[in-house]
């Protein structure tokens, strides 16, 4: 079973990563889809459909319930567990899918690092963040992916459209490490603020970032 990571969170919650090596029939044989889910998955391309099925199966495994809980989307497109107090976030990149389940708003992002991220850094890195980054550092590309992943995870936790990644989501200074490390970030929209405890790790050469609201 390609469950390559499962970690309990210090509060009520868990997150995990699945390396997809199966086809969609494998997951369909294990998942009993609800009508609303069937409607959603029928509109997806083959690649997106496999990612969708793998993430829902991982979600089911991490929940540890015998019966599946419907994974639905609200009017903003944010996934949630129908009738559960838990909040969730899903992500996928390449052959990895990642899921976090937490008692408070949460977000997760997994991505394969690419050099070209520096070309778009000015779109999401603000002036304060740029002060603790150095393009000459050997870890500069990984630092950019950490910031992007944290902002993406915070955006998912917030769950509303129209967020300015550069100016409304801010990541506090951190020292990059290829193994697990913690840092903090926050979202500020007018008078509304959310603070997050973030973490990053390198899993099978993918950058995995978590954002848990305080």
Buried b (16+ CB within 10 A) or exposed e, 114-142: eeebeeebeebbbeebeeebeeeeeebbb
Contact 62, 7 (CB under 8 A): no
Ranges of residues in the chain with a pLDDT under 50 are: none
pLDDT at 144: 98
Cα–Cα distance, 9 to 169 (Å, whole number):
23
Q: Quick: pLDDT tens for 86-118.
A: 999 999 999 999 999 999 999 999 999 999 999
pTM: 0.95
Structural element, H or E, at residue 4: strand 3-8
Architecture category of domain 109-213 in CATH: Alpha-Beta Complex (3.90)
pLDDT at 190: 86
Cα–Cα distance, 101 to 23 (Å, whole number):
25
Q: Please, which residues have CB within 8 angstroms of residue 69's CB and are 6 or more apart in sequence?
A: 60, 63, 81, 82, 83, 84
pLDDT at 32: 87
CATH for 3-103, options being 3.40.640.10, 3.90.470.20, 3.40.50.2300, 3.20.20.80: 3.90.470.20
CB burial class (10 A; 0-12, 13-18, 19+) of residue 93? middle
CATH 3.90.470.20 in the chain, residues?
3-103, 109-213
pLDDT at 1: 57
């Amino acid at each position: 079973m390609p469950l390559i990571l499962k970690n309990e969170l210090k509060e009520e919650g868990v997150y995990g990563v699945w390396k997809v090596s199966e086809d969609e029939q494998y997951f369909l044989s294990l998942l009993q889809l609800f009508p609303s889910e069937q409607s959603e998955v029928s509109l997806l391309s083959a690649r997106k459909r496999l990612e969708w099925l793998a993430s829902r199966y991982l979600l089911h495994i991490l929940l540890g319930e015998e019966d599946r809980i419907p994974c639905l989307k609200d009017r903003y497109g944010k996934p949630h567990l129908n009738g559960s107090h838990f909040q969730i976030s899903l992500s996928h990149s390449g052959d990895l899918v990642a899921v976090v389940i937490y008692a408070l708003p949460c977000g997760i992002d997994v991505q394969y690092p690419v050099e070209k991220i520096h070309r778009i850094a000015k779109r999401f890195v603000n002036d304060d963040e740029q002060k603790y980054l150095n393009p000459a550092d050997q870890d500069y590309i990984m630092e950019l992916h950490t910031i992007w992943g944290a902002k993406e995870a915070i955006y998912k936790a917030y769950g509303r459209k129209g967020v300015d990644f550069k100016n409304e989501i801010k990541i506090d200074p951190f020292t990059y490490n290829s193994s697990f490390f913690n840092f903090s970030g926050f979202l500020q929209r007018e008078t509304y603020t959310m603070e997050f405890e973030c973490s990053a790790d390198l899993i099978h050469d993918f950058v995995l970032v978590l954002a848990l609201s305080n």
